[in-house]
Amino acid sequence: MEPQKESNPKYLPYPPNPHHGDDEIDLRELFKALWRGKWIIIATTFVFAVGAVLYALSLPNIYKADALLAPAESSNGGGLLKMAGQLGGLAALAGVNLGAGESSQTDLAVQVMKSRQFVEAFINKHDLLVPLMAATDWDLENNKLILDEELYNPDTGEWLRDAKGLRGATPTAQEAFEVFVKEVLSVNQDKDSGLYTVSVQSYSPYIAQQWVNWLIEDINKVMRERTIAETSQNLAYLNTQLQKTAVADMQSTFYKLIEEQTKSLMLAEVQEEFIFKVVDPAVVPEQKDSPKRALICVLGTLLGGMMGVAIVLVRFAFRKEETEDLAAST
């Protein structure tokens, strides 16, 4: 009979892991629970997928028209900018603004285009309140907007919505401005080329193109009128100061300033594309820009699958807890 080998006291055996078996059982039970609840997962995924499809189909098409614009050589460019460097100090002392550079004028035009005053005047000038606030879709066959008759009665021209606080039945200018800036208009600049893209979104592709053209025309007109008014004021002031001074050097300076201001005024009166020149005009978009119906369907299906798995796992957790409590009580 062989003597029994004693274990080396220096090397103690590994203690058993009490949780190892439980983890395997839990993982196995988890997969079993998912398999038992497969019909719940399938049904939930199917319901969400159908809902996503119906929701995507209910959304109207949105068309986007855009135009590519380049900063024009405005009336403040060329010789006037050179004069600004040479005579800017004297002009400032005389109280005359020689005008900003081309880039700053363009940046100012972009901010004016997004301003409340310009948008309100644009909406009123072209009578855009109804298509902006009451349109819900576009009739392709008849080429006309479909209006929400619960908000606006096209036969009587009356707004029918309920008044809330300071906002009555007729949409206010502030409401129209918020919708126009957030949902309709976008102006972006390419930092590399310096070109601007003016985009308009609408239910109708024809309206989108028309509004882009109107925006470009109106912003050029507004900025040109601002320059003409400012230059005319400068000329009147310079002529008045010229009559008051008898110093030959000052008279020479005033004559140069008057010459440049006159050039600026003449260019502003002649140049229609005063701030922006159209590089690529807006066209009627043939394809919709949104909604992304395929993406909506995929996301809805994934959400349904995750929701089904979550329901099964929650049921599994509650059942396991009830089983453990029952076993502990017995």
Domain boundaries, the chain: 36-59+291-311, 63-280
Q: Find the mean pLDDT for residues 78-85.
A: 43
| Model confidence band, residue 168 (pLDDT cutoffs 50, 70, 90) | confident
Q: Does residue 62 register a pLDDT over 70?
A: yes
- Whole-model pTM: value is 0.74
Q: Find the mean pLDDT for residues 138-160.
A: 89
| Model confidence band, residue 217 (pLDDT cutoffs 50, 70, 90) | very high
Bridge partners of 158, per DSSP, are 153
| Model confidence band, residue 316 (pLDDT cutoffs 50, 70, 90) | confident
Q: Which CATH number fits domain 63-280: 1.10.3470, 3.30.1890, 1.10.150, 3.30.1330?
A: 3.30.1890
State which of 69-73, 156-160, 323-327 shows the largest mean pLDDT.
156-160
Q: Find the mean pLDDT for residues 95-118.
A: 75
pLDDT, tens only, 276-310? 999 999 999 999 988 999 999 999 999 999 999 99
Instruction: Give the distance between the most distant pair of CA atoms in the chain.
Output: 138
Which of 52-61, 210-219, 238-247 has the weakest average pLDDT? 238-247
Residue 325 has what pLDDT? 65
